[in-house]
Amino acid sequence: MTTARSVAKRGVRVAQRISNRAGHLPRRGYAHCFIEDGGVHSRLHLHHFYSLFLPDVTEPVDVHIRVYTAEGRDLGTATRRLAPFSSLTLPVAEVLAELRSDAKLGTVAVDVEPAADYSRRLVEVGPQGAIAQSPFWMGYYDDLGSVAYIHSIDQYYGSVFGIGRIAGLAFRARWHRGGAWTSKRLIETKGLRRADAFLVNHSPSAGRTTVRWLTHPGGVTLSERTTTVPAHGAIRVSVTDTDLDRAGEAPEMLRLEVDELLTGNGKPYVMVRYGDGPFSLHHG
């Protein structure tokens, strides 16, 4: 590690110690894309993970779910309580109804707040500056039997939970734009009906980028969108069998490119459909 980085890291530790003299447990959330459109539904897979780290503490956790529209508008927060070792498969439609929204695309950020006994104990046994994080899975499904789930691909940046606003500045995760990215997955075009890329901006700052579907190995652009994605917003960029037909000589494969990931690991979600079959979804 360079001297400058070492000094910076030490500085952060000092700031954390000074700002958190009360010894709270700071928490970082994670965010996901939700889809409630075209028959596709989303659901959160949540669980009381503190049970598996401190199984002798038998208190509940409160799961706070903050919802944003694709345009980055904060719709509010829903909360669910989970008992030890319990889990919850929570439809996004239920959360949207609670928040009186009919958003079709957006993001959800999850913070799992443990009872005080968990925080106190983890601060006791953890190192100086110990934090907790709340990754979770998002599921996608439809009435035709499609099923998919995906783990958190990046954090919910800009906020830290469980600690005061000033102290939060010392504990917040640093984020950066992720630069150019290209999918490592090649998508077969034979029988492909459509492919959708969903790009989330996990950061607290709007960012401009281009998402592009290309033939492989030819590198011909089939579909492309350049736009500014609001903080905590999301966009969809699709390619269909019609686009493939327009490409002339049928390409064998497709791949996806993003000129600038909006956070370091903010890779797009990729949904594909072949023929009349179910969709699948994974992270790029």
Partner 1 sequence: MLIEGFNPRYVKMCYFATLGELGYKTRVSLSNGTTASGALTDDLHVSFEAFSATGRRLGAVDRFDVIRPGGFTIVDVEDHVGPGRAIDTDGADILGIFHMTPGRFIERDVIDIELADIFAQVSVSDEYIEYYSRQWSVAAGLAYQSIPMNDPRFGGTRSTLMQSPKLLVDNETDTNLILLNISTSPDYDLEISFDLAFIAADGTRVANHNIRVPAYGFRRVSSREVLRAAGAFERFVQLGGNGMVVGFSDRGSVVPLSITRNDRSKGLACDHTLPPMYYLPWWGGEVRKAANQRVRELLFSGSPVAPR
**Which residues are at the interface with partner 1 (CB under 8 A)?**
45-49, 52-56, 58, 60, 83-89, 122, 125-127, 130-137, 139, 144-152, 184-188, 190-191, 216-217, 253, 255, 272, 274-280, 282-284
Burial tier of 176 (Cβ tally within 10 Å: 0-12, 13-18, 19+): exposed
User: Which residue, 14 or 83, is less far from partner 1 as judged by CB?
Assistant: 83
CA atoms within 13 A on the CB side of 124: 7
Nearer to partner 1, 91 or 206 (CB): 91
- Nearest approach in angstroms of CB 90 to partner 1 is 10
Q: Which is nearer to partner 1, 73 or 168 (CB)?
A: 168
Interacting residues of 127 by C-beta distance below 8 A, sequence separation 6+: none
Between 70 and 148, CB nearer to partner 1: 148
Least Cβ distance, residue 43 to partner 1 (angstroms): 9
CB of 236 to partner 1, least distance (A): 19
Distance of closest approach, residue 134 Cβ to partner 1, in angstroms: 8
- d(Cα 222, Cα 242) in Å, to the nearest integer? 10
Whether 232 and 68 have beta carbons less than 8 Å apart is answered as: yes
Integer Cα distance of 161 and 172 in angstroms: 9
Q: Which is nearer to partner 1, 70 or 163 (CB)?
A: 163
**Rounded to the nearest whole angstrom, what is the least distance from the CB of residue 52 to partner 1 in the complex?**
6
C-alpha span between 209 and 207 (Å, rounded): 7
Residue 60, Cβ neighbours under 10 Å: how many?
A: 18
CA atoms within 13 A on the CB side of 95: 32
